[in-house]
Amino acid sequence: MTTRRAFTATLAGAAAAAAFRVRAEDKVKPSIVGGIQLGVGSYSYRKFDIDRMIASMKQIGLSSVELWNGHLEPAKTSDDEYRSVKRRFDAAGIQVSAYCVNFRTDWSDELVDKGFRGATLLGTSLMTASVEKPILDRLDAQCKKHKVTVGLHNHYLGDPWFTGDKKINFEGPADWAEAFKGRSDYLAINLDIGHFFAAGHDPVAYFKEHQARIVSLHIKDRDGDAAKTNRGPGEGKTPIVEVLKLAKQLKFKYAANLEWELDDADPSDGVRRYFEYMKKALA
């Protein structure tokens, strides 16, 4: 005989199970294709707030994000806010694969430390960063303190926006080689294949030779014209398909993050196009 208490408990259990199913169904399925984690750099969504970005990622089907400090600045973010952001991504089924903080040389040690602490609060031991070389010793010390790896990001320094000192910025192989001398393996490479190609280098050959030190890929298409124009996926000359096929062959264990550089008012369509292009390359 079923007692009222047992019947009530059964109903409560069924309701909890149903609620769990709803929550699980609301999450993004893992965007892993051919063994490669496909994600997006949140810089692509630079005009969106975090919640609008999450909604777009869920609709497109992306389960991994490299969270850029334009969305979450260390100087303006408390520990509780970091935890809140992580909960929102977790609820959507999206993993913060890396925290991108572009550390400036004039930042205090306290602020640099806060950026690293933010990564751990977001649930990742990987950061990416566009930085200048004079800050590398400070970053290396923080890497060792927090057990966090930092992938150093490259740019094409021939772009009109760049007005800095090329000697202390990152564009190609010689810059990483210089950065790693006398420093720990916690300093690594965030290889932006579009910028690398625009600077006249071969991203496929470099990826193959330096795979052990590469902890993040940025996927974007740039053309072979004089301006190295940013294009949609497959519309430029950057060997995206070859890089992704090599990642699959090498069983690359980090994320390949697409970056949308064109229309930034609403990048959702561009992000979707890149995601579909990458999936097709890996299928």
Cα-only R_g, the chain: 21
* 3-state SS record for 195-220: HHHHCCCCHHHHHHHCHHHEEEEEEC
- Rounded CA-CA distance 198/222 in Å is 7
Picking from 177, 206, 180, the residue whose alpha carbon sits closest to that of residue 191 is 206
- What is the pLDDT at residue 264? 86
**Global confidence as pTM:** 0.91
Which portions of the chain are predicted below pLDDT 50? 1-2, 4-22
Kind and range of the H or E run holding 222: strand 221-222
- What is the pLDDT at residue 83? 98
Measured from the Cβ of residue 253, the count of other Cβ atoms closer than 10 Å reads: 10
Residue 221 covered by a domain: yes
Residue 66 covered by a domain: yes
- DSSP bridge pairs for 187: 150
- What is the pLDDT at residue 250? 98
Residue 142 covered by a domain: yes
Number of structural domains the chain divides into: 1
Q: Are 89 and 71 in contact (CB under 8 A)?
A: no
In whole angstroms, how far apart are CA 59 and each of 63, 71, 87, 271?
10, 20, 19, 11
H-type alpha helices, 153-261: 173-180, 193-198, 203-209, 240-250
Residue 8 covered by a domain: no
Residue 259 covered by a domain: yes
Task: Specify the CATH number for the domain of residue 119.
Answer: 3.20.20.150
pLDDT in tens, 90-144: 999 999 999 999 999 999 999 999 999 999 999 999 999 999 999 999 999 999 9
What domain range is 94 assigned to? 29-282
Q: Pairing relation of β-strands 32-33 and 36-41?
A: antiparallel
- What is the pLDDT at residue 11? 43
Residue 53 covered by a domain: yes
- What is the pLDDT at residue 263? 85
- What is the pLDDT at residue 194? 98
- Rounded CA-CA distance 240/218 in Å is 10
Residue 209 covered by a domain: yes
Is 31 strand, coil or helix? Answer: coil
Kind and range of the H or E run holding 126: strand 126-129
- What is the pLDDT at residue 47? 96
- What is the pLDDT at residue 26? 83
Residue 13 covered by a domain: no
Given its phi and psi angles, is residue 68 left (phi above 0), alpha (psi -120 to 50 degrees) or beta? beta
